[in-house]
């Protein structure tokens, strides 16, 4: 990550010239001495990540030119007269605004290809690499969660589709069974019954319908809540009380057995039911 930052800074240098050369990256640490070069005509620019507080050499100003401003330092050897050989190498200490101190050994060179350096502290580079790795791990983790969420959504959609399909099949089966049961009931049901109230001019008919299934006789009344009627079956001149079940929800009396003549005494009314045929 640190190298890519350096590359971005190097891109700021002019690119129109065919023989232009990229700046060199220096990974440095406090307490180590690093070598750089400078040409007498071109000099070298050294850029740091923080502003420079001071830059000091042990040689007089007549031997080397050293200037700095903000994050940039410029250094150039002077080859005047007899001191040329003695000043071809110089020690340089740079102190940044952060308090970090870096030591350099600057050598004069005839090579003009290298004229700029980007200085990056190893701690910063490694921290950036570590941060970059953590960011990549976080991105992979997020992508994994997104993929897992998509997988769960797809599974949920499939389970919902399977449930709806199963429910639809069950509903069809239940409906088919219900239709079969109704048809079977219709096949064996018998409805030729007649009934009348003892009251010659009733306000309404107490009984709505009467039918049997060959085993039970069913009497549906017009309203619920009549209470427990007295139901008898007439055989000849004898009336026998019969057993029955009553559903207050449907208003149906389910009477055990088949009977040619039934009498229902409900409140103050008596209904006579005759089985025909």
pLDDT tens digits, 113-158 = 888 999 988 887 666 665 556 667 677 777 777 778 888 888 888 8
CA neighbours within 13 Å on the CB side: how many for 19?
4
The pTM assigned to this predicted structure is 0.39
The mean pLDDT value of the chain amounts to 79
Residue 6 predicted with pLDDT over 50: no
Confidence of residue 12 (pLDDT cuts 50, 70, 90): very low
* pLDDT 10s digits, 41-66: 888 999 998 999 999 887 766 688 89
Phi and psi at 97, nearest 5°, equal -65, -20
* Helices 122-188 and 2-10, packing angle to 10 deg: 110
Predicted confidence at residue 125, as pLDDT, reads 66
* pLDDT 10s digits, 64-97: 889 999 999 999 988 654 555 667 888 899 999 9
């Amino acid at each position: 990550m640190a190298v890519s930052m350096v590359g971005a800074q190097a891109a700021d240098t002019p690119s129109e010239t065919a023989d232009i050369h990229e700046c060199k990256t220096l990974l440095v640490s406090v307490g180590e001495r690093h070598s750089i070069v400078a040409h007498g005509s071109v000099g070298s620019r050294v850029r740091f990540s923080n502003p420079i507080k001071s830059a000091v050499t042990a040689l007089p100003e007549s031997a080397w030119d050293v200037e700095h401003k903000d994050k940039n330092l410029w250094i150039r050897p002077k080859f005047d007269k007899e001191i040329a050989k003695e000043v071809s190498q110089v020690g340089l200490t740079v102190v940044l605004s952060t308090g970090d101190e870096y030591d350099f050994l600057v050598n004069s060179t005839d090579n003009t290809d290298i004229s700029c350096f980007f200085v990056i502290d190893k701690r910063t580079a490694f921290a950036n690499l570590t941060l970059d790795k953590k960011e990549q791990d976080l991105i992979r983790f997020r992508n994994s969660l997104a993929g897992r969420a998509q997988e769960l959504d797809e599974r949920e959609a499939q389970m919902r589709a399977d449930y709806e399909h199963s429910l639809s099949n069950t509903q069809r089966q239940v409906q088919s069974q219900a239709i079969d049961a109704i048809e079977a009931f219709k096949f064996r049901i018998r409805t030729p019954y007649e009934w009348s109230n003892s009251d010659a001019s009733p306000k309404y008919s107490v009984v709505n319908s009467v039918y049997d299934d060959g085993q039970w006789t069913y009497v549906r009344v017009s309203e619920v809540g009549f209470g427990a009627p007295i139901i008898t079956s007439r055989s000849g001149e004898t009336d026998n009380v019969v057993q029955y079940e009553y559903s207050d929800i449907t208003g149906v009396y389910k009477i055990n057995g088949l009977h040619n003549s039934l009498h229902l005494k409900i409140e103050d009314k008596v209904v006579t039911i005759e089985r025909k045929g």
